[in-house]
Structure 1
Amino acid sequence: MSETICVLGIGNVLWADEGFGVRCIEALQARYEFAPHVQLIDGGTQGLYLIQHVQEADSLLIFDAIDYGLAPGTLKLVEGDEVPRFMGAKKMSLHQTGFQEVLMLAQLTERFPRRILLLGCQPEYLEDYGGSLRPVVKAALEEALRLGLQRLQDWGAQPRPRSRPLDEREAVTFLELGLERYESARPSESLACRIGDERFFPAPV
């Protein structure tokens, strides 16, 4: 029986570079097919709801935007027992708190993946509600996919170029939030404030 492999992208696509992990999963599914024992998960900001996927995985690959204090777009690979520590080292959002707890709970229940790899990208900008990946992070996504596919190959995931277009019903991400549709439908900054409702901003003194 083949070991279960879980590929998980976490983050919030609505906050610019925070969506890096989810965009990685979206691209992997659109471009590649995998063996039946491989599961691709858009973890979004689900936190503790992801515990079952972590506990059931023999091998776990995580894509996420992580603030390592490095140059924007820098990729860093963290493995094994170091992963929970890095997930909570410098939290950018509540999803990281939740997922760090998921990993710790999996350890406490002794149902922790035998192999775990965090492939994190240093974000450039987050405070852009409705924004997308900045160019330097979008460019890093391609290298992240290459590194992820290399590890998945080593784990026996059998990645291969997709032989047929992805059926929209099979997509792990919401169609309305797909990268191309999300970016093309975005209003200009002059039409949509990026940081909140300007009606509630204090008037300049």
Structure 2
Amino acid sequence: MDTRAVPSVAADPCAEGYAPIVVLGIGNLLWADEGFGIRCVEALGQRYGFAEHVQLVDGGTQGLYLLHYVQAARQLLIFDAIDYGLPPGTLKVVEDDEVPRFLGAKKMSLHQTGFQEVLSLAQLTGHYPERVLLIGCQPEELEDYGGSLRPSVRAALEDALALGVQALREWGGQPRARVEAGESVTLPSLALERYEGERPSAEAACRIGDARFLPLAAPAEE
């Protein structure tokens, strides 16, 4: 795990309360470790309650549709799977102006290209967060359609949550542990426990993509 501490930022109260904080998980749950960012936001929502000005968002692969969330945020916390070229499960923290530059240099999938554009557009419109913190995890497996987080990445999720909660506390997000699990940020059918319990095995289902859209095998020559 990256040993640098999350930067300490004092909460900045404004006339109508604290400034908006957006916590954004991006990625694709259906492609194994690509779902890391979504699972982080999901776990935060289940385990913690926050101040009213904190919004948890399952950003999926929505790309430009996430622009208004970024424009509305004073502080933006992002969870994502990023190919750093490091051992699987390694966490790395990237801050502020380095985030769009880093995403541009380390493209791993189409959703990262789209989100880099979101950040650039937010800058061009003059509505860009004062603080941006990216907590990324090196994936182990991305080619398992219908698969879930690999053990190394699932283990890293706990450290990522700790870093995220620390940042949210210092930003004035007032995280507090729930006595009972909260509602899932993700669709109920895609929540981790249900997803793991109901997904078919690799032997029972195609795990290289949606079989309905894969090219048909060429006919055998006579």
Task: Judge same fold: TM > 0.5, yes or no.
Answer: yes
**Structure-2 residue corresponding to 1:106:** 122
TM-score, scaled relative to structure 2: 0.87
Percent identity, please.
Answer: 68
Pairing of 1:1-205 with structure 2 (within 5 A): 1-167=17-183, 171-196=184-209, 197=211, 200-201=216-217
Q: Over residues 170-201 of structure 1, what are the superposed CA-to-partner deviations in whole Å (9 max), with x where a residue is unaligned?
A: x3210000011111111111111201438834
Deviation at 1:52, TM superposition (A): 0.5
SS at match of 1:157: coil
TM-score, scaled relative to structure 1: 0.94
CA distance in 2, matches of 1:172, 1:188: 25
Aligned-pair Cα RMSD in Å: 1.7
Q: Relative to structure 1, is the Cα distance of residues 188 and 32 closer, same or farther in structure 2, using a 3 angstrom cutoff?
A: same
CA distance in 1, matches of 2:215, 2:52: 51
Higher helix share: 1
Q: Over residues 136-193 of structure 1, what are the superposed CA-to-partner deviations in whole Å (9 max), with x where a residue is unaligned?
A: 00000000000110111110100001134324xxx32100000111111111111112
CA distance in 1, matches of 2:218, 2:189: 33
CA distance in 1, matches of 2:115, 2:187: 21
Alignment size in residue pairs: 202
Conserved in 1, the CA contact under 8 Å of 2:79 and 2:135? Answer: yes
Greater Rg over alpha carbons, structure: 2
Conserved in 1, the CA contact under 8 Å of 2:48 and 2:182? Answer: no
Q: Over residues 32-66 of structure 1, what are the superposed CA-to-partner deviations in whole Å (9 max), with x where a residue is unaligned?
A: 00000100000000110010110110000000000
SS at match of 2:18: coil
SS at match of 2:105: coil
* One-letter amino acid matched to 2:176: R
Gaps of 5+ in 2: 1-16
Q: Relative to structure 1, is the Cα distance of residues 164 and 189 closer, same or farther in structure 2, using a 3 angstrom cutoff?
A: closer
Q: Over residues 73-105 of structure 1, what are the superposed CA-to-partner deviations in whole Å (9 max), with x where a residue is unaligned?
A: 000000010000111223222111110000001
CA distance in 2, matches of 1:153, 1:28: 13
* One-letter amino acid matched to 1:20: F
CA distance in 2, matches of 1:73, 1:92: 15
CA distance in 2, matches of 1:144, 1:204: 50
